[in-house]
Amino acid sequence: MKKTLLALLCMFVLVLAACGDSSDSGETSEYRTVYSGEIKTLNYLKTAETNEFALSANLVEGLIEYDQYGVVKPGLAESWESNEDATVWTFKLRDDVKWVDHEGKDVENVVAQDFVDGLNYVLDAKNESSTAWIATVVKNGDAFYNGEVTDFSQVGIKAIDETTLEYTLEAPTPYFLSMLNYVCFFPVNGEFLAEKGDAFGTTRENILYNGAYILDKFEPQNERVLVKNDEYWDKETVKIDRIRYKYNKEAATVAPELFLRDEIDGALIPTSILDEWLNSDDKKDLVRQNTNNFYTYFYALNFDPQYDAEYEPENWKVAVNNKDFRKSLYHALDRVSAMLTIEPYNPQDLLSNTITPKNFVDVEGVDYTMLEPLKAITETDSFNKDLALEHKEAALAALAGKATFPVKVLLPYNSGSPEWANRSQVVEQQLENLLGADYIDVELYAGPATGFLGEVRRPGKFSMIEANWGPDFADPSTYTDPFTEGGTYNKPEMAEGYNSEYNKLVEAAKAEVNPAVRYELFAKAEAFLIEEAFVIPYAVGGGGYTASKLNPFESQYSPFGVTSEKFKGQSILEKPMSNEEFKSAKEAWEKERAEALANTSN
Amino acid sequence: MVKYIAKRFAQSILTLFIIITIVFSLLRLMPDEGYLGAAAEKMSPEQQEIYLTNLGLRDPLLVQLKNFYVNLIQGDLGKSITYRTDVPVLDIIQDKMMYSILFGLGAVALSLLVGVPLGILMAQFKGRWLDRLGTGYIVIVVAVPAMVYFLMIQMYISEWFNLPMLFDEYNPRSFILPLICLALGPIASYAMWMRRYMVDELNKDYIKLARAKGVTERTIMFRHVMRNAFIPMAQYLPATILFTITGSIYIESLFSIPGMGGLLVDAIQRQDNNVVQGLVLVFSSLGIIGLILGDLLMAIVDPRIKLGKGDSVR
């Protein structure tokens, strides 16, 4: 009410004298930006949304973090060890970490019990945590979630003393450390949580902070301001004093203009205005490419088609079970022309020949995608006209009398995404032109903008579909989930002559603790999937262009979880990085990363 | 009069009940995916089921409906699910309402202060340059899509007059552009209707008689013409003022005003049943109250209208 009165006063006085600019100058460094997607909660134990991770990561810390090259570094835990088969993990906590309130006042120390209380909250189904599924890696986690076990002391987490924490896991999990990068393993002060009840995480006053920043202002759909936490255990590494997010529903449209007026320090530059920026002398050095993320995009061929008879699902089923037919599609897809719908300037930078992206995990410094037998796939472009036509002829011969040509290929897309719609049209024309309309007839279908996955992909209403998957921890197994039996993607287990081949390889790999052997088995499994052309790997997410005063190679590097969202370690540049600077910085970073990985045995 | 209001009130409660029940039932037809958000892809079917059961979405519809009404009678609209998790719906609506009312009332005041006099002047100088200028303005505002000139105002006017592009509650200068944008349309429509009713009124016999009797032009204008011309506009005034609460979707998003505009759209997109129900309740109440007040105001300004016998004036 006070605020309204103040605003009323302001409005009716309407003094035209310029009000003092509120941004401090000189001493404090401030990063300003606009955003259009409002967060719904500060309750980090509940959310699974990226933009909420991005905030929580700066306010609350977990046991570990990563350096800028992706090497695990101590966070709230100063050291750890695990037993032989990676089922019991013991962490030694720092003893000087403080919980502070929204005014930065000390509340209590962070102790081992806080991690137990956090997990207890997450795994209690009535709290509706969206990340509970990942926390079920601990012993009896799933049983507690679904009510089979009611006593939380039976769950695999124990506070041995104030600074010693022990996890017992359901199965050998050599990559468990990377899972700790998720909010569901973050601590919470149990007493505070009980006191706040349902209101925990609804306002900035209703959470406690132990991270690099405190939320100084939190007004949804208006503004949020983060200020440096003076009690933070590693505050020397925090270089930006204040981060100001201004809400604007049209952020995508107004941000570039605001950036030019120096009202914000970072803006995404949409492709629609990119030309103008790149061709203007005073703007071209302000814009650079964005880094890629680890969402993997691929076209999946459906082995269990469940759509209307008019699209001839039975005929598709016969065709797709022929390897030559699949291979003809695999080699015919011109991924670059499809990619131009998103990235007209550097489409090849986003292409991916494998399901698991590059720079995701490595064995002794060798990137996973360069392990045999995946190496050959990584190094070859799948698009190959001659091979496509060869396989087409073989398929025509093999399927003569069994399938009707042209085979109808139902290719649905989400009508809420104009880019996806454009891309589907490009793919349709390109495939039909190359393979001939006598061979395939691609049928586009505009799926619903909301609930697309539940309406189209999961029920199997497609022949071929563009799909994606994001990783959850540092292990290739995270990219196998969509394709193992029981997955909701394209049901490769229904393929003729499949004999659980892929599943057996994946199971064998999962049972192996030694990373070198383990990763090789995963590489075999993935190579099988691609070699059989059950899927056509296509691209990674991210990319696009940005004008920003942040150096993307200073931030913590991690393909999953939340630490990559931290501002800690980043500083504000005098002027935005140009694309040339970006490219050379990226090259340097890749070199340094390779060295850093070679020096650490993960 | 009292009897009339009581009757209209009873009808309104019934209308509200029907609206809410329909909306409530329709919301339950939404796909489950929307409630799961980013985790939909990662949860096992069993986990999804447990999650949705805890949200209360697996109870029979009648049980859900009963719970909703029991809470509503106690003044509890429930808590937000996906829009701002666990925050009471009332708090969300209240916070945002303040901003929308503030700008809405400001805009209504501004448009009355500018639009009505403009309409009067246009009627007085019918066919002269002022009338043409006013008509030109009205045509432009009506014909050009609002988004175009709002964007122009935000981009260029802000630069020429060095005004902030975005709203900031502590900077009074940031109120100017959104207020102007909000008022442009209503100014045109008030001017247009005012001019029309005035011209109609000016051509009536009693005005000619008054002129013949030598009544001053001023008296004619203010005592007769304006008063009668304002009657049809009075009917919609309460509803106009009340609907400022709902905010302007586009202007609020353009200038980053944290008001109610777009809240309903957002809540529907995020499938936040509780917020949608709360908003529908508020909006339909506003509509109903606006209509009743409009009728009452008509009865007050126009002594020929008697309420109660033939019910509403429409």
pLDDT in tens, A74-122: 999 999 999 988 999 999 999 989 999 999 999 999 999 999 999 999 9
Choose from B80, B94, B169 for mutation: most chain A CBs within 10 A: B169
The two beta strands, A407-414 and A366-367, are unpaired
Q: Is the same domain home to A310 and A456?
A: yes
CATH number of domain containing A109: 3.90.76.10
- On whether any CB of chain A is under 8 Å from the CB of B40, the answer is yes
Residue A596 within a domain: no
CATH number of domain containing A428: 3.10.105.10
Contacts of B98 in chain A (CB under 8 A): 1, 3-4
Q: Which of the two residues, B221 and A139, has the higher pLDDT score? A: A139
Q: Is the same domain home to A314 and A425?
A: yes
Q: A520-535 pLDDT, tens per residue?
A: 999 999 999 999 999 9
- Coil, strand or helix at A15: coil
- For residue A24, what pLDDT is reported? 40
Domain assignment of residue A349, given as a range? 298-542
Q: Is the same domain home to A191 and A302?
A: no
- On whether any CB of chain A is under 8 Å from the CB of B314, the answer is no
Average pLDDT, stretch A230-258? 90
Least confident span in A16-30, A237-251, A408-422, B210-224: A16-30
- For residue A12, what pLDDT is reported? 40
Q: A335-345 pLDDT, tens per residue?
A: 999 998 888 88
Q: Do A198 and B106 touch (CB under 8 A)?
A: no
Min Cα separation A197/chain B (Å): 10
- On whether any CB of chain A is under 8 Å from the CB of B129, the answer is no
> Which residue from B30, B37, B46 is facing A48, i.e. has the nearest CB?
B37
**Percentage, residues of chain B above pLDDT 70:** 97
Average pLDDT, stretch A500-504? 88
Residue A392 within a domain: yes
Q: Is the same domain home to A307 and A172?
A: no
Contacts of A13 in chain B (CB under 8 A): 172
> Which residue from B31, B46, B179 is facing A455, i.e. has the nearest CB?
B31
- As a whole number of angstroms, the distance between CA B58 and CA A48 comes to 22
Q: Which of the two residues, B303 and A587, has the higher pLDDT score? A: A587
Contacts with B62 (C-beta within 8 Å, 6 or more apart), sequence order: none
- Which residue is closest to B100 within chain A, CA to CA? A4
- As a whole number of angstroms, the distance between CA A339 and CA B148 comes to 32
- As a whole number of angstroms, the distance between CA A148 and CA B50 comes to 13
The two beta strands, A72-74 and A98-100, are unpaired
Residue A237 within a domain: no
- For residue A601, what pLDDT is reported? 55
pLDDT tier at A15, thresholds 50, 70, 90: very low
Q: How many domains does chain A have?
A: 2
pLDDT tier at A149, thresholds 50, 70, 90: very high
Mean pLDDT value across chain B: 85
Mean pLDDT value across chain A: 89
Single out the residue in A163, A178, A213 at which a domain terminates: A213
pLDDT tier at A18, thresholds 50, 70, 90: very low
Single out the residue in A168, A197, A213 at which a domain terminates: A213
**Percentage, residues of chain A above pLDDT 90:** 67
- For residue B75, what pLDDT is reported? 86
Q: A275-285 pLDDT, tens per residue?
A: 899 899 989 89
- On whether any CB of chain A is under 8 Å from the CB of B76, the answer is no
Q: A281-326 pLDDT, tens per residue?
A: 989 899 999 988 899 999 999 999 999 999 999 999 999 999 999 9
> Which residue from A1, A221, A450 is facing B34, i.e. has the nearest CB?
A450
Q: Which of the two residues, B238 and A601, has the higher pLDDT score? A: B238
> Which residue from A10, A200, A455 is facing B175, i.e. has the nearest CB?
A10
- A373 upstream amide cis, omega within 30 of 0: yes
Average pLDDT, stretch A380-405? 92
Average pLDDT, stretch A552-570? 90
Contact A189, A107 (CB under 8 A): yes
Single out the residue in A493, A523, A542 at which a domain terminates: A542
Q: Is the same domain home to A187 and A302?
A: no
- Which residue is closest to A246 within chain B, CA to CA? B256
DSSP 8-state assignment for residue A576 = P
Q: Do B86 and A8 touch (CB under 8 A)?
A: no
Interface A–B counts its CB contacts (< 8 A) at: 151
Contact A90, A80 (CB under 8 A): yes
- As a whole number of angstroms, the distance between CA A96 and CA A92 comes to 12
Q: Which of the two residues, B239 and A519, has the higher pLDDT score? A: A519
Q: Which of the two residues, A542 and A115, has the higher pLDDT score? A: A115
Contacts of B171 in chain A (CB under 8 A): 10, 19, 22
pLDDT tier at A151, thresholds 50, 70, 90: very high
Contacts of A3 in chain B (CB under 8 A): 98, 169
> Which residue from B50, B169, B262 is facing A7, i.e. has the nearest CB?
B169
- On whether any CB of chain A is under 8 Å from the CB of B155, the answer is yes
Residue A264 within a domain: no
Q: Is the same domain home to A492 and A343?
A: yes
- B232 upstream amide cis, omega within 30 of 0: no
Statement: residue A489 has pLDDT above 70: yes
- On whether any CB of chain A is under 8 Å from the CB of B5, the answer is no
Q: Do B254 and A125 touch (CB under 8 A)?
A: no
Q: Do B165 and A50 touch (CB under 8 A)?
A: no
- For residue B308, what pLDDT is reported? 63
Helix, strand, coil % (nearest 5) of chain A?
Answer: 40, 20, 40
Tell me the whole-structure pTM to 2 decimals. 0.81
Residue A38 within a domain: no
Residue A393 within a domain: yes
Angle at CA of residue A312, ends A308 and A313, nearest 5°: 75
- For residue B2, what pLDDT is reported? 81
Residue A278 within a domain: no
Min Cα separation A184/chain B (Å): 13
pLDDT tier at B313, thresholds 50, 70, 90: very low
Q: Do A254 and B165 touch (CB under 8 A)?
A: yes
> Which residue from B85, B96, B269 is facing A46, i.e. has the nearest CB?
B85
C-alpha dihedral, A398 to A491 to A534 to A292, nearest 10°: 160
> Which residue from A8, A128, A453 is facing B33, i.e. has the nearest CB?
A453
Residue A577 within a domain: no
